[in-house]
Amino acid sequence: MTLYQNIKIALNSIRGNLTRTVITCLIISVGIMALVGILTAIDGVESSLVKNFSFMGANSFNIQNRSSGFNLNRDSKRVSYENITFKQAQEFKDRFIYDAVVSVNSNNSWNAIAKYQSEKTNPNSNIIGGDEGYMEVAGYELAEGRNITATDVERNVAVTVIGQEIKTTLFGSSNCINKHIRIGGVKLRVVGLFAGKGGAFDFGGDRIIMMPVTLARAKFPRDNISYNLGVSVDEITELDAVAGYSENLFRQVRRQKIKDESNFQIIKSDSISQSLMENLNIILLGAIFIAAITLMGAAIALMNIMLVSVTERTKEIGTRKAIGAKSTTVLSQFIIEAITICQIGGLGGVVLGLVIGNITSNYIGGSFIVPWDWMLLAVVVCTAVGLGAGFWPAFKASRINPIEALRHE
């Protein structure tokens, strides 16, 4: 008997036990949906990290007083050290001799409100104190106007470079260069506009209001503030060497002894994204666990359906064996029937998983993903479940005596 005929018989049997089959297919769909959906979402997270996780440039690193804190493990706490003072940050910059860009910067507020005439932003604008090097170390580009200069920093000039979201909210499609905005009573002239950056997980890369770090220090002081140092190199191959040099130099600035551990952290953008991806393995294990439990239940339900089907079709099996069907033919028929049911359920699960996974991916800024590898895995898993759940009923059917089967009522 050909494979096509076995599948045709399987579909006829499915129509004969429609309610039980639909329930089993739904259970299988839930399991495959959980597996494919979460795996697709994780691929979306990875895509978003690669594309958007660039609040630092690719060839840059930060020196700061805190660890990155991007850890999903509740038992792992964010490490904090003694604050980096403006004096220490400036001394590091002055003593730095490598051929690289160094920036002294600070995060002065995450909930500022910027105003222009009658328009104002939501209280979620980011005030960044920066210098002439901040744009490069933070991975920004200019869309219009100019960057902050060293002279602006030295003279505390009240100028600012704003992000796209700030510009759109306050100025719409109008030109923003040389217009004045107000933040907490401080009047700032817009001299530049950053190109659109976006931000993975809504870090607000386009809600930035960057002003000279000296002006931010004077006009937007924050209790217990710690300054950041950004360093950008021309070639990524130089990154590790410059990071090592920077660590040694800043240890000298912090007056640390040779035997002391560094009381600051060097953070690279790729290390943050790698840390996040490592932690996402927890979610991956959760997806596998949920899918495994669900598919186990589906396998039990499928086995019960197949056993009932064998009982109900005893006379049919006896007739086939009486006219020459081999036991192996009956065995393969019932196994193919179980696999067909699983594949129908798996198809529904793959479609639902793709939809849910890509909705999640789109929400976090990733692109549309068709995970062919996970779809292939779903097909393999469904085949394995069908084979495992269908073998015993199929074996039982193949061992039926045709004489006794024909007497079965």
Total number of residues shown for the chain: 409
Q: What secondary structure letter does DSSP report for 202?
A: S
Distance of CA 184 to the CA centre of its chain: 36
65 in a domain, yes or no?
no
284 and 307 inside one domain: yes
Residue 377, CA atoms < 13 Å, CB-side half-sphere: 16
Boundary (domain end) residue, out of 263, 284, 316: 263
Domain that residue 316 falls in:
3-51+275-406
Closest of 52, 35, 131 to residue 92, by C-alpha: 131
Let me know if residue 269 belongs to a domain: no
Query: Does 231 share its domain with 335?
Result: no
Q: 184 and 288 share a domain?
A: no
Last residue of a domain, one of 212, 236, 263: 263
Residue 161, classed as helix, strand or coil, is strand
Q: In terms of domains, do 231 and 341 share one?
A: no
Q: Is residue 270 within 8 Å of residue 277, measured between CB atoms?
A: no
**Distances in Å between the alpha carbon of 187 and those of 303, 312, 364?**
74, 84, 34
Q: Are residues 232 and 312 in the same domain?
A: no
Take residue 11 and report the two structure tokens written for it: 């579909």
pTM, two decimal places: 0.59
Amino acid at 205: G
Measure the CA–CA gap between 59 and 239, rounded to whole angstroms: 7
Tell whether 30 and 163 lie within a shared domain.
Answer: no
The answer to whether residues 106 and 254 belong to one domain is yes
* pLDDT value, residue 54: 45
Does 133 fall in a domain? Answer: yes
pLDDT in tens, the chain (409 residues): 566 666 776 677 667 667 777 877 887 888 788 778 877 877 776 666 655 544 455 678 899 987 654 444 444 555 678 899 999 999 999 999 988 999 999 999 989 999 999 999 999 999 999 999 999 888 899 999 999 999 999 999 999 999 999 999 999 999 999 999 999 889 999 999 999 875 544 456 789 999 999 999 999 988 889 999 999 988 878 888 999 999 999 999 999 998 888 889 888 766 655 666 666 677 777 777 877 787 787 778 778 877 877 777 777 777 777 777 777 777 877 788 788 888 888 888 888 888 888 887 777 656 677 778 878 888 888 888 888 888 888 887 787 777 666 665 5
Domain membership of residue 250 (yes or no) is yes
Question: Is 281 found in the same domain as 256?
Answer: no
| pLDDT value of residue 366 | 61
CB 327 within 8 A of CB 398: yes
Q: What is the pLDDT of residue 203?
A: 56
- Which one of 236, 263, 290 terminates a domain? 263
For residue 229, tell me if it sits in a domain. Answer: yes
The structural domain count of the chain equals 2
Q: What is the DSSP string of 59-116?
A: TEEEEESB-------TTSPPPB-SPPPHHHHHHHHHH--SSSEEEEEEEEEEEE-EEE
Do 282 and 166 fall within a single domain? no
Residue at 71 is within a domain: no
The helix/strand/coil state of 219 is helix
Whether residues 213 and 100 share a domain: the answer is yes
Q: Does 61 map to a domain?
A: no
**Two tokens, residue 89:** 């940050």
The CA distance from 231 to 220, in Å, is 24
Q: What is the CA radius of gyration of the chain?
A: 32
What is the pLDDT, as a whole number, of residue 135? Answer: 92
Tokens (6 digits) for 218: 């004077």
Half-sphere exposure of 330 (CA within 13 A, CB side): 29
Cα–Cα dist 257/252, whole Å: 8
Helix axes 18-52, 3-16, angle to 10 degrees: 110
Q: Are residues 133 and 34 in the same domain?
A: no
70 located within any domain = no
- Residue whose structure tokens are 């439990």: 293
Tokens of 187: 């009047």
CA distances from 234 to 16, 56, 60, 100 (A): 70, 14, 9, 7
Same domain, 252 and 290: no
- Report the DSSP beta bridge partners of residue 128: 107, 210
